[in-house]
Amino acid sequence: MNPFRLDGTVAVVTGGGKGIGRGIALCLAEAGADVVVCARTKKDVDEVANAVRALGRKAKGVVADVTNEDQVRLVAEEAKELGDIGIWVNNAGGLPDATPRYLTRTPLDRWDAQLDLNLRAVFIGCQVAAQVMGENGGAIINISSRAAKGSSLKNGPYAASKAAVNSLTETFALELAPRIRVNAVAPGPIPTENFNQSTNFPKDKPIEQIIGVPLRRLGTPEDIGNAVVFMASPASSWVTGQCLYVTGGM
Ligand code: NAD
């Protein structure tokens, strides 16, 4: 049997309405999973659910805000209607306010907004996933960032939250072994809506040169989706508590 296949598994993807989450949802479906897509915009989740169905898999689009624990629990309830949940991807995240700021000038409410979306919501997602995954267990994948590696000028709250996601991933992995594997995938630059809003590079030079990607191109949602398929599948059955950097070598 192909160890990268996910046939018969139900996957939840938060923030699956566009960008990287959309790519993850479609890669999981290509690998055979049925997919529950959660995001805040109905039009987006419906579009991705239809794209999953077009690949021959079952799908549901659920509108929810991942910073709200009750709403995340409802996502899990909706997902259980498709079968036992075996994969949970905490992808929703980004920069709720894209204004670059030094930490010394970051108002507390902006700090809180970043940490709520990028860290607290991942904590909620891991807790709920651990509670709803049955005896057969499964795989939780948290979407981190290259920014987790260290300092990130004018992007401090985001970098701190993603570094904490890696820490959370390691601790949940220990707590939940051997029933559930918990890993992270950390993307490098991928020109999604959120990325384009939060970067302001001069248009006369290729962006991958400006930010120095050794593999000489920006990433795609599918680059991340394929890494998630690996982390979700039996191909990674002896991997837990790890963060896989998918960054073009950055
Ligand atoms: P995006 O803005 O294009 O898409 C994010 C999705 O999450 C959207 O569907 C949005 O509706 C949803 N979302 C946002 N807040 C939500 C909330 N509170 N509740 C439910 N859904 C919510 O962003 P993206 O670039 O695809 O980013 C996806 C993940 O990848 C994020 O965790 C981000 O930090 C991470 N990441 C992105 C890049 C990049 O270059 N794009 C790099 C590193 C890490």
pLDDT per residue as tens digits for the range 53-94: 999 999 999 999 999 999 999 999 999 999 999 999 999 999
Q: Name the percent of the chain lying above pLDDT 70.
A: 98
Q: What is the pLDDT of residues 153-205, one digit of tens each?
A: 899 999 999 999 999 999 999 999 999 999 999 999 999 988 887 776 666 77
Q: State which of 12, 192, 197, 243 you would mutate to test the pocket of ligand 1, scoring each by most atoms of that ligand within 8 A of its C-beta.
A: 192
Which pLDDT value is given to residue 97? Answer: 81
How many domains would you assign to the chain? Answer: 1
Is position 161 within any domain? yes
Which pLDDT value is given to residue 215? Answer: 94
Q: Domain of 117?
A: 10-245
Pairing of strands 59-63, 85-90: unpaired
CA of 2 to the centre of ligand 1 (A): 30
Is position 24 within any domain? yes
Residue 128: which CATH number?
Answer: 3.40.50.720
17 neighbors 44 (Cβ within 8 angstroms): yes
CA of 194 to the centre of ligand 1 (A): 7
H helix intervals, 55-135:
69-80, 108-115, 121-132
66 neighbors 92 (Cβ within 8 angstroms): yes
- Give the mean pLDDT of the chain: 95
Q: What count of other Cβ atoms lies within 10 Å of the Cβ of residue 205?
A: 9
Which pLDDT value is given to residue 191? Answer: 92
Is position 2 within any domain? no
Is 245 in the active site?
Answer: no
Confidence of residue 112 (pLDDT cuts 50, 70, 90): very high
CA of 215 to the centre of ligand 1 (A): 23
Strand order in the sheet with 10-14: 59-63, 34-39, 10-14, 85-90, 138-143, 180-187, 243-246
Question: Would you call 118 helix, strand, or coil by DSSP?
Answer: helix
Is position 58 within any domain? yes
- With CA atoms as reference, report the closest residue to 126 among 138, 114, 135: 138
Which pLDDT value is given to residue 203? Answer: 66
CA of 1 to the centre of ligand 1 (A): 33
Q: Among 23, 87, 158, 225, which one carries the catalytic annotation?
A: 158
Which pLDDT value is given to residue 202? Answer: 66
Which pLDDT value is given to residue 71? Answer: 98
| pTM (two decimals) | 0.97
pLDDT (mean) for 7-24: 98
Is position 1 within any domain? no
- As for ligand 1, residues whose beta carbon falls within 6 Å of it are 14-15, 17-21, 39-41, 44, 65-67, 91-94, 117, 143, 145, 187, 189-190, 192-195
Is position 180 within any domain? yes
Is position 170 within any domain? yes
